[in-house]
A = this chain, B = another copy of it.
């Protein structure tokens, strides 16, 4: 069978399964998730064996240590997948909730009912644990899933798929409720993003290159996460101690995450109080610093930033620093160079925090808090399928609700429209 025909078949099967999942009870969905957890636990030896094949091939291909680390499926990661399944089973089921039900002058009642999107396509790279994360969130929200993992994780993903099928069988869900694409042919991705009849939305997970490519070519809506070029602006009316604590946390808690601060903006009038201390702390943690010329007068540890630095999400122990004349210049800089992900102001001034909160056009805007909080767990979603830097459909961390839509329900008792 050609890749195109195979993907069409996967899509048709997913659409069919989605109709059954859409009306599945919460009890059945949770039972399936818990059965998957048990199946994963029972399959530890097989999972590790399958993963070893991928790891061996990866080693031979000379994958980077970082990639191999993501690819590895050890007992700790398996346990974490099992825990994830339990957490998703414990989440409140959003499907079927009716809100805003109210009478209209015509006498009808109208409200909104939360419904699944239908079929979610997930395209991801080498991390096999995404398979379970994504499948469980999609299942809980009543969606069928088509998963296309990286070719490096092929055997691991197929082994995980077997545990998923055990869970689906347990409650009589169709096996096509979660399908893992079984070809590593790149054409499969091209097909997947061109089947609006069968796939309602694509969620790509991975590097910016992958996501840009997919967004550019997709004929299906894409919930996408591009960069997290996050800023912290320390205002001249900031509480200095809070500013230092937050800036250090935002940069050094973890370096490779999208909610890490990549650019620090400091009001020139407070620079002498915060910059020398911050620089000492950053340098002691091995953070490389580049900055504007004015910032350099506060430390000779700051290299000169070039224009490109302001646009860059380092995802590494590196930080760009810029002195600004006030909140307006800070916001202008953020709206120009930022990625509309997460940006914070540190200030005790009421008016300035209010302006910043309203006018900074980012998916998360923070006041006197670390950008590190931008995360589905921290926001109380229980889990996230990604972070959207788009504005359409869903913005910021995407939990179960992002995988749903709402339809209108209208209740009458013989009502007709007479105008």
Question: Which chain A residues have a beta carbon within 8 Å of chain B's beta carbons?
Answer: 19, 22-23, 96, 102, 104, 106, 108, 110, 113, 115, 117-118, 200-201, 216, 219, 221, 239, 241-242, 245-246, 248-250, 253, 335, 357-359, 361-370, 372-374, 378-380, 391-393, 395-397, 405-418
Q: Chain B contacts of A106 at CB under 8 A? A: 373, 378
19 further A-B pairs in the complex, CB-CB below 8 A; given A249-B416, A395-B406: A23-B358, A102-B380, A106-B373, A110-B380, A117-B391, A216-B219, A242-B414, A365-B410, A366-B409, A366-B411, A367-B412, A369-B410, A369-B413, A369-B416, A373-B412, A392-B392, A393-B393, A395-B407, A396-B407
CB distance from A250 to the nearest CB of B (A): 8
Known: A372-B417, A379-B104. A407 touches B246 (CB 8 A): no
Q: A22 is contacted by which of B110, B361, B406 (Cβ under 8 Å)?
A: B361
Q: A392 is contacted by which of B372, B405, B410 (Cβ under 8 Å)?
A: B405
- Give A201 to B390 CA distance when docked, in angstroms: 11
User: A22 near B373 (CB under 8 angstroms)?
Assistant: no
User: B407 near A365 (CB under 8 angstroms)?
Assistant: yes
Q: Chain B contacts of A380 at CB under 8 A? A: 102, 104, 110
Q: Chain B contacts of A413 at CB under 8 A? A: 242, 368-369
Which of A248, A367, A372, A414 has the most chain B CB atoms closer than 10 A to its own CB? A414
Q: Chain B contacts of A200 at CB under 8 A? A: 391-392
User: A392 near B201 (CB under 8 angstroms)?
Assistant: yes
User: B379 near A414 (CB under 8 angstroms)?
Assistant: no
User: A370 near B417 (CB under 8 angstroms)?
Assistant: yes
Known: A369-B411, A391-B200, A409-B365. A335 touches B19 (CB 8 A): yes
Q: Chain B contacts of A246 at CB under 8 A? A: 412, 414-416
Which of A23, A363, A366 has the most chain B CB atoms closer than 10 A to its own CB? A366
User: B242 near A363 (CB under 8 angstroms)?
Assistant: no
Which of A19, A408, A418 has the most chain B CB atoms closer than 10 A to its own CB? A408
